Each structure stands twice: as structure tokens, then as C-alpha cells.
Structure 1
Amino acid sequence: MLLSDFDFDLPEELIATRPANPRTHARFLVALGAATEDAQVLDLPRYLRPGDRLVLNNTKVIPARLSGLRRRQGEQGPTEARIEVTLLEPQGDGSWQALVKPAKKVRDGEGIHFAPGFSATVTGRSEGQLNLSFSLDGEDFDAALEAAGVMPLPPYIAARRAADAQDRTDYQTVFARHSGAVAAPTASLHFDEALLREIASMGVDFTEVTLHVGAGTFLPVKVDDVSRHRMHSEWGEVTEAAAEDINATRAAGGRIIPVGTTACRLIESAAAGDGIVPWQGETDIFIRPGYRFRIADGLMTNFHLPKSTLMMLVSALMGRERMMQIYDHAIAERYRFFSYGDASLLLPKV
């Protein structure tokens, strides 16, 4: 298939820069096979059945965007320059891959200072990314990052406004537990504790998995033939208990509905035989039309970028023509798009 097969025109004013308040009042497009209904996220229990299982991604977004100073001793004396850093992925030796602007002006071995006692040294670079070794590690690093960093809003929001204190709450799920993501599993942002309790009370179960969402989720597809696209990799884990619960629900005839494309990609990565197995590691699974889903029976997700791999994933689930109909409806009805936008529930079989 061609990249143009997943393109559509989106009015810029439909790109959300703030979430609905309260979270559960976001609009909710429900696709039941060929039927389409308009609702709110708080109506989700109407579309679930006792015995269903929602799969949640419990990753926690770190305040990965830092502003620092590059200090250099030159012929004319000491100079300082402002440097912007976005942490991408931790390395096995405790260092971090990062995007640094302006990267070309920062030399290997040079230091970047973020706060008293909190700095980093450039130890290498590859494909436009720099490797940073920090002056702190462990809990000390976490505390310094929490104090100095800001939430790494997606590019299409950051281009319109700066992150602020409210994003610390808005860009984090209520069940975030394991730090490591630099982007939120955004479909999960629509849940609050009251909605979770209501869903549980009707006999729907929850399973938590972990996929640390990376900045690669925003990278554009640059090839016309989508089969040639190379996916970014992200670290994830499906525990033994999670695998057992998902397999038990499937055996009992319940539906497995991941909340978000990250949870969907992870459980499909862990599929084996007739079910799912405990799994841990890096996944670069690329789900596009022609893929046969092995675990997921449906998907709750936000509305995605044109020509994105996530648009290809939902098209694999519902069919490309059906997804285009759904997006035409969403645009005509003025749904809000992307990370802080509205949500959908995609159920290919009623």
C-alpha cells in the first residue's frame, strides 16, 4: 500500500491543545462494525459487556524536556549559550540518548548545566542524536529531572504553546506507575478513578501492561511504499499474571480491548500460539492492513495524524475504507484530534 492511501485533509483548528475538562467529557465516536454512534467517554460502560477485559498501559511520562546552558572558555573569555534537550531513551550504562538544539554547536566532551549540581556531558552522537552522561543517577537523577524538566508535549502542541504546570496532570494517566515514557498513551488520558470504578462494578476486568512510549511515535513515514518503513523500537513488558488473565478472558469468551495503540502493539507482540505469553523486550511491530490480529478484539484510541503508522494500525483493524468513513464523520462533526483530542472505540465485530 502507498503512503497516500492513509492521507486525509484535517482542518488545523481541530488539533486540540488542551484536553477536555473533566477528562471523561471528551467526545467519543463509537464504530460498531458498519454503524457509527456519537457519545462521550463517560458512556463507555454502555458498550462493554461483563467478562470483557480492558488492557491499560501503565507507563509514566517523565518531564523529559530540559533547558540548560552550554558553558565554554574561549579566547575572549567564558561564554554561555542556551541549549534545549529532550531525553529520548536510557542506555544500558545509565546515559541517555537525547535530541539537543542546536546540536551542531555542542562538542563532544562539553558540559550542559541545567541546575545547581545537575549537569550532563556529551559523550557521543549518532544520526542527529547526542548521548548524554548525567552528573546524577538513580533517585537523585529522578528528583533533579522532576524539578528541572517539563512535560514533553507532542510537536503539534509544542508548536502552538509551551508546556506548563497543568500539563503535569493533563499529560499523565491516573494509573501511571512505571517511569520511562517520553510521550503519553493518550487514549488512557480520558479515564478518571470514577469511570474505572464504574467499569469494574459491571464485571469488566482490567489488565495493566507497560510500554514506554518513545519520541519515535511522532516520526513521519518517509517512504511511499509503506512496507519499506522501518518502525522505531520501544521497551515493553507483559507479566506472567497479565498473560494468564488475558488468556483466561479469551478462553471464557470475553473480548480483549486494549486502551491505546501502545497497549495494542504490545499484546500483539506477545502473541504466541493460541494466546499470549509473558514477554519483555524491545518491540518494533508494524501493524498495517493485511495484519491478522491475534489478541485484540477492538481498540479504544484517539484520532491520529494523516499518513502515520497509527492511522495504518487502525486501518488494519477496521479496514482502510471504513476508517476513512469514520474520519470523514469525525471531521464533519468537529471532533478534536491528536493527543489532547477526543476518543473513539473501534469494534470490527458487533
Structure 2
Amino acid sequence: MPGSVAGVEIQYAAKKAATWLTPVACGALNGFLSRPVTINDKSDVDIDDSLGTYFSPDGTAGDITCDGAIPPYLRYAGQELLLALVCGTAGVPTTHAGGTLSKDWVYKPAKNIDGLFATFVRNMKNYIAEVPSLKIYGFTIKGETGGSLELSLDTIGSNTNRNTTTGTNTLTTANNITIAETGNRVRFSHGVFRMNVQSGAALGVGDKIVPSAFEFSFKRKLKGVFGAYTTGTTTPRGVVDEPTNDDMPEISLKLTFPRHTSATMLTAWGDDVRYKMDATFTGPIIELAIPYLFLMQWPHLQIKNVEAIDAKGIIQEPLEFICHGAATAPTGMTGITEPFRLSGTNKFATDPLA
């Protein structure tokens, strides 16, 4: 009898796929570390409730939905595919000025991510749980003082195949999986936040702000429909086709300041002042004097809420912004008109969406 599996023995991997419901084999550098993943199949049972029977005589397994979250810590490297799949626009990184190993990357939110999905593998030691097609439709990046930044990826999958010796991904093929990055977590203390009015000068040292926590969320509204695909087994069950746009995405940014000291942001909310902002996280040195970087930029922020809630102790100041696109790129953010842009520097040298 096989032994039980522990969390320290679980292995996660993902590789870009090309055809919905057709898995690809995960291998070298496709593995990644994560906190507990919640992707699971769900299904109702259609009970036979015909009259003339007191106890239900049978039930038919219904269509399958497969969703959940992948919640790793944010790292300076090793999550290129996961972030590029949800953003939709990537490209081949460029060599950083003065470097050779150091590569600069940029991910931008595309208007759709049709055709962008992955095969996700969870190695459960005694069997493989393979989601042939997994769409990443949103992410949240958050952090607070004293901690590491957390990344949570929202997913919609086709279904889960479970096997040990058959199929595309098996316990044997899982031996080929290696993890691209096991270190270099992004720490909150690595970050510098800057913000000023959208129409103002380029962000500079005088625009530094000091929040104690932040949360940035980008969620596309995608939907898959039933009818075209089934599991294809001896008892076929419906699964969704590739999810596509079903509405506008929701994009928000929350900041928490440890002390409420003035009415400045309350007044700005009343006057509907618009802002631009960036957050730069600087990690260890890659080579020479070139460090790992992770940068988030927002060209057009509108205040949604300012809540300075009365309390017995120190009153904090939470802010919530809606992240809009910009009609024109603000000063200092050349070419950035989309609601946000992710960029940085690491050693990953290829287009993750190629």
C-alpha cells in the first residue's frame, strides 16, 4: 500500500499549451513553488426523482467545473509564464545595459487572452493530477511591512485527469520536472512607493509615500461554456470550452497608511483628483551592480474610498483606487496608457508566451 502524501512532497508545474483540452508534458524548468493550491473539480449529481420511488434509484454525474487559485509568494524570477498568461502581452527580454546575464522584461495587459492557457500538473506522489487546460484570468499581489509579497492567481480549468502510468503527464514524466527558481522572494522592505497627481511632473524622490500595506488586483471577467467538449471517458461528462471575455476587467489598488495625519486625501477624493503611481522592488545583485527588479506602474488612479475609521489607538488611513487606462501617457511613464504595467530585471531570457 503506498504511503500517504505530505505537503513537502507535492510538486507543481505548468507549461503553455496550444489546443484546449489537449495536455502537454511538463519538464525541465516548468516547476514552481507555491503555497497550497485550491484548484479542484466540482460537479452536481442529477438525482433520478421519478415518481413511484421512495428512495432515489440512481443519480447521473453532471458537468464538471474546475477552478481555484495558485497562491505562491511573489519572486523576482521563476513565475514568468504564470504572469505572462494572465497579462497577455510579453516578448523576448532585452539585455540590461552593461550586463550579459541580466534581462529586462515587460508584461502588459492585452484586451483578450484568447489562445493563452497552460497544462497544470500537481504531483501527488502516488498519482498525477493533471489539468489539461488551465486559464489564468486574474491575479492579486499584496504585502505588508515585515513580510514577503504574496501572489494569488485566479484560474478556470477544463477538468482534472488523475493517473500514475497513462496519459501525457505521469509519475514517470514528472521525474523530468525541475523548478526554475526556489529563492529570491520579493520582500515588502525591498519596495519604494511613489505617487503624485496624474498631470504632475515625473515621479521623483519627493513623491515617495510610505504605506504599511498594499493590495493590487487585476481580474478579467472570462466565461467558458458547455457543449463542445466532454471528458471523453466511458461515462462522458461535459467540460467548458476555452473561457473568453464576458465583461470588462476589474482593476483596483488598495493602500494602507499606518497613521491618519491630515484631510489631504479626503479633500482629494471630494475633488476627484487623479493620480499616477509606481512601486519598485529591488532584490539581490544579478551581476556587476545590476540587481533583480520588480516594478509596477499605474498611470491613472481614481480614488474610490478613503476610510479613516475612528479607533481607540492610532487611526490608520486605508485608500482604495480604481485603476483606469490613460488617454495619454503621463509624464515619466512614456508609452504607458494601459491601466498598469509590470516590468523588471532577472535572468529569464526567452519570451514566456512563445
Query: Which structure's residues are more often strand, by fraction?
Result: 2
Larger Rg, first or second structure (1 or 2): 2
Of the two structures, which has the highest relative contact order with CA contacts closer than 8 Å and spacing of 6 or more? 1
Same fold (TM over 0.5): no
Per the normalisation by structure 1, the TM-score is 0.29
The structure carrying a bigger helix percent of its residues is: 1
